[in-house]
Chain A
């Protein structure tokens, strides 16, 4: 069971990770809504950004992303979805 506090923490952590990794100058975690789409409008990221985020997740959380998975679009849809994905992967490995 994921408590609300740890979900919130990981969301902020992921927002900062994305800002640092993708060099989003002038943007703070407060500017990114957890439910807003990361791609297709929203923050306006592209496919190279998705690969870069995947690499950052691997480095920071040791998470391997299966690029053949049909679920991948859902994981990367928003910060909220990405947070759920990261927590679920951490629970698998812990």
Chain B
């Protein structure tokens, strides 16, 4: 949906409002969670021994998938099965951090770099693999964190929805290698969340987001994972403090 900017109380500072219809969602994470109550209109994929099931792929396509790629491709696949093909936004703050840290370690030890590891740890690799798996000819973008965290994916989706009736948003993270943890907020689990979004006002739950500029509270928690937790606990609204902004979101009935 087209972003709407409204002046806030302070002169020259704008709020951004985004509204979508959440058509479907799919979530997987590497932790068994009691599924008592979660958001409506979607599914949590089975824990499957801590590795997302990609049995829908032939072995020659699944063999190279990292745990993170398996999770992202699985949730994307289930949403495409439900809603068909569409443009997509893939988002991850740190992507294949385990792979590229191992690779950097190897380079430091003067070892050769595995060509497949190298090709699969570039940031758009998972988006590309998912596109190949689903023989999609739709455009996709692959985003990294920036200052807006996973909310950057919703800004991008709002843009794509100006031209397409629905957009697939896929967000995914994994725990960072130990060496980075003193400097960056890390996810506690490997997880992936896919959401099919269409324009606001269509039939389905309405996802509304508001960005307010300002200095957020500094936190060591991964802001993306708090959304995952909200979905699993069926919490329908929350505030998320980032470095330069505060995002407020809510999921409302039709």
Contacts and interface: CB of A to CB of B under 8 A. Distances in A.
Contact of B112 (A23, A24, A49, A55): A55
B115 A26 contact: no
A50 to B, nearest CB: 9
A22 interface: yes
B60 A44 contact: yes
A84 B115 CA distance: 24
Contacts of B115: 48, 51-52, 55
Interface string A26-65: 1100000000000000001000110110010011000000
Contacts of B119: 48
A24 B116 contact: no
Chain B binding surface SS class:
helix
Interface string B57-77: 001100110000000000000
Contacts of A49: 116
B218 interface: no
Contacts of B60: 24, 44
Contacts of A24: 59-60, 63
Size category, A interface = 10 to 19
Interface in A50-93: 51-52, 55, 58-59
A94 interface: no
Contacts of B112: 55, 58-59
B114 interface: yes
B146 to A, nearest CB: 30
A23 B119 CA distance: 16
A73 to B, nearest CB: 17
A49 B63 CA distance: 12
A19 B130 CA distance: 24
A35 B115 CA distance: 26
Q: Among the interface residues B60, B114, B119, which one has the most CB atoms of the partner chain A within 10 A?
A: B60
Contacts of A44: 60
Interface in B34-58: none
Contacts of B114: 52, 55
The 3 closest A-B pairs by CB, nearest first: A51-B115, A23-B63, A48-B116
25 contacts: A22-B63, A23-B63, A23-B64, A24-B59, A24-B60, A24-B63, A25-B59, A25-B63, A26-B59, A27-B59, A44-B60, A48-B115, A48-B116, A48-B119, A49-B116, A51-B115, A51-B116, A52-B114, A52-B115, A52-B116, A55-B112, A55-B114, A55-B115, A58-B112, A59-B112
